[in-house]
Amino acid sequence: MAEIPKEKLLWMYEMMVKIRFSEEKAAEYFAKGKIPGFVHLYCGEEAVAVGVMANLQPGDYITSTHRGHGHFIAKGGDLKAMWAELLGKRTGCCKGKGGSMHIADLTIGELGANGIVGGGIPHAVGAALACKYLRKGCVAVAFFGDGACNQGTFHESLNLAAIWKLPVVFVVENNLYQISLHVKYHTPVKDIAERAKAYGIPGVVVDGQDVLAVYEVAKEAIERARRGEGPTLIEAKTYRFKGHFEGDPQVYRSREEIEWWMKNKDPIKLFEEKLLARGIVTREELERIKEKARREVEEAVKFAEESPYPDPKELLEDVFSTPTKGWLVWKWPI
């Protein structure tokens, strides 16, 4: 911690509380029926996104998941644009057409959240290839969950990135559950990071509830990628305080388990304790940061509420395909 400037430490704390407050507000708005579609919240996992993003530069790229609000905020995404997108408004970062699971902002290198499990991993590899080919000196980071590590996209992406020594960092946010299935039932290895051995790249396990630990591991992996030494697989062991999606009955885990994690492994509380114990900040400073974050969230929600919905005439704008005329008829040989 002594090597990290105070300004960066306070930025990390601010990002973490901003993500938490925004996600709690999203839970509230979804319950009111104001957010269409599914919502997957990031509460409890804030240290992973922030610890990694604290090492990135504006020209770097990330790919996200269906649980992508935290990644978007930590990468520097406009909170007002994100909230407008959640509410399906025209002022959203995707003009209200993407929603919670498809938030993106190419201007900040956020190549998009993805509703397909593991869908963003090869996109990060593609971005890393562009970085290397164009000699831009940038890196790409792919965020994905433990369930995505059993998808073909995961293995194919690690293999190609390793062969070509691409500047990409793969970050597994292992929150223990693939929707409702515990990781011990869907993955035979104790640590997903062990799979890096098959591709000849470093595999590192880190406590995903400790933002400083994530920061240090990510720093080494990102610097390695910038030097042209290839990819790294980071497994951040974390935990989501909410259900897989809002409305999830969570019958697959006990209330006691959730309460234990929230009491003992809350990443924000753990970071607060370290900052205070080392005399880096005072409680008054932390409260001012929290109040600023709360105010920004409230302003973003207000902006989204007051924004207009997209015009129905814009339905076919900004899309990659449009309906064809007539029906496609298959004529099978007899």
The whole-number pLDDT of residue 323 equals: 55
In a domain, 331, yes or no: no
In a domain, 334, yes or no: no
Q: Edge to edge, what strands does the sheet with 140-145 contain?
A: 61-63, 140-145, 168-174, 232-237, 203-207
- Determine the average pLDDT of the residues in 233-254: 97
Share of the chain above pLDDT 70, in %: 95
Instruction: Write out pLDDT tens, residues 52-107.
Output: 999 999 999 999 999 999 999 999 999 999 999 999 999 999 999 999 999 999 99
d(CA 242, CA 263): 14
**For residue 133, what are the contacts with CB-CB under 8 A and spacing of at least 6?**
none
Residue 235: what residue type?
E
Q: Is the pLDDT of residue 199 over 80?
A: yes
Secondary structure of 177-193 in HEC code, one letter for each residue: EECCEEHHHHCCCCCHH
Catalytic residue list = 240, 244, 252
Instruction: Write out pLDDT tens, residues 28-67.
Output: 999 999 999 999 999 999 999 999 999 999 999 999 999 9
CATH code: domain of residue 29: 3.40.50.970
In a domain, 323, yes or no: no
Q: Is the pLDDT of residue 321 over 70?
A: no
End-to-end, the C-alpha distance of the chain in Å comes to 73
The model's pTM: 0.94
**DSSP per-residue letters across 133-184:** HTT----EEEEEEGGGGGSHHHHHHHHHHHHHT-SEEEEEEE-SEETTEEHH
Closest CA to 43 of 251, 248, 278, 287: 248
What SS3 class is residue 51? helix
Q: Is the pLDDT of residue 320 over 60?
A: yes
Range of the domain at 283: 6-316
In a domain, 41, yes or no: yes
Q: Is the pLDDT of residue 296 over 70?
A: yes
Cβ atoms < 10 Å from Cβ of 57: 11
Q: Is the pLDDT of residue 331 over 60?
A: no
In a domain, 327, yes or no: no
Q: Is the pLDDT of residue 324 over 80?
A: no
Q: Looking at the 3D structure of the chain, how many domains does it have?
A: 1
The whole-number pLDDT of residue 322 equals: 53
- Determine the average pLDDT of the residues in 4-32: 97
In a domain, 117, yes or no: yes
Place of tokens 């090492």: 55
Instruction: Write out pLDDT tens, residues 171-191.
Output: 999 999 999 999 999 999 999
Instruction: Write out pLDDT tens, residues 140-155.
Output: 999 999 999 999 999 9
In a domain, 324, yes or no: no
In a domain, 325, yes or no: no
